[in-house]
Structure 1
Amino acid sequence: MNRLLLSVLAIALCFAVVQGLQCYECLGFYNLCVTLTTTCSSGQSCFQGRGQAAGFVDIIQRGCLANANCNQLSNVTFQGATLYKMNKTCCATDLCNAAPATHISALSAIAVVTAWLTTSML
């Protein structure tokens, strides 16, 4: 009986470890963000990033990030040019990178990102 109980416990523990860290994932402007959940790979943590493009457009990002890149200020580039800097802060519990209160549709988010990228390349 003890062997059976230990076997079941060992199998359950394996499934729990394999499942991975759950995080919110989004990229948006101000507090408007299309939020999904994602599972991080081994060696990653949840992160919440904040930056400011063109001196006034607040950019937010959430998702999974390699542990080596956690809690750092990094350059966000497009075609070799730095668009803005983003401060990325990590945490390591399920859904710890709190989702924003405001949500927009994926189509609206794509339209905003496309318009922003188009104007930034001019």
Structure 2
Amino acid sequence: MKTLVFLLAVAFCFAVGQTLKCYQCQIGFWNLCFTKEVTCQDGEKCFSGDGKAAGFVSVKMKGCLVVANCNKTTDESISISNSSATLYKMTKTCCNTDLCNGAPGLPGASGLSLALATISALFVANILV
């Protein structure tokens, strides 16, 4: 009985040890990105996404991504009123160690910088839609 409990405990440790902790940022502009730590699901890796909207606005994303979608460039779009418009292309690059997708993107960033980035993003979105 003790051997069975020991084996289950060891198996549990290996199962828990296989998940990654990554930084997550839903969307950021230039180097401004609010991040938090998240734990990925099985079959996911950490990723950092880089894109350009309207050819000059740098768009960032971070988080967990299914391995099959790693290291690909995709069209990112938004749906408005039953139609979809491509806003930008995003290249998502994966890595496989804890917190490997970069440090938090907003240490010490001012509220003014974030406000300017938000206004710029809304302006670009209005132009593209």
TM-score by length of 2: 0.74
Misfit runs of 4+, over 3 Å:
3-10, 100-106, 108-115
1:121 is displaced (CA, Å) by 3.2
Aligned pairs for 1:1-122 within 5 A: 4=2, 7-8=5-6, 10-18=8-16, 20-26=19-25, 27-79=27-79, 80-103=84-107, 104=109, 112-113=117-118, 116-117=121-122, 120-121=125-126
RMSD: 2.9
Distance 1:109 1:68, change over 3 A: farther
Aligned residues: 119
How far the C-alpha of 1:18 sits from its partner, in A, is 3.0
Aligned residues of 2:53 and 2:124 also touching (Cα < 8 A)? no
% identical aligned pairs: 44
TM-aligned CA distance change 1:119 to 1:29, over 3 Å: closer
User: Given the superposition, is the C-alpha separation of residues 41 and 105 from structure 1 closer, same or farther in structure 2, using an over 3 Å criterion?
Assistant: farther
TM-score (norm 1): 0.78
Separation in structure 2 between the aligned mates of residue 25 and residue 40 of structure 1, nearest angstrom: 10
List runs of 5+ in structure 1 lacking aligned partners: none
Seen in structure 2, the aligned counterparts of structure 1 residues 25 and 7 have a Cα distance that, compared at 3 Å, is: same
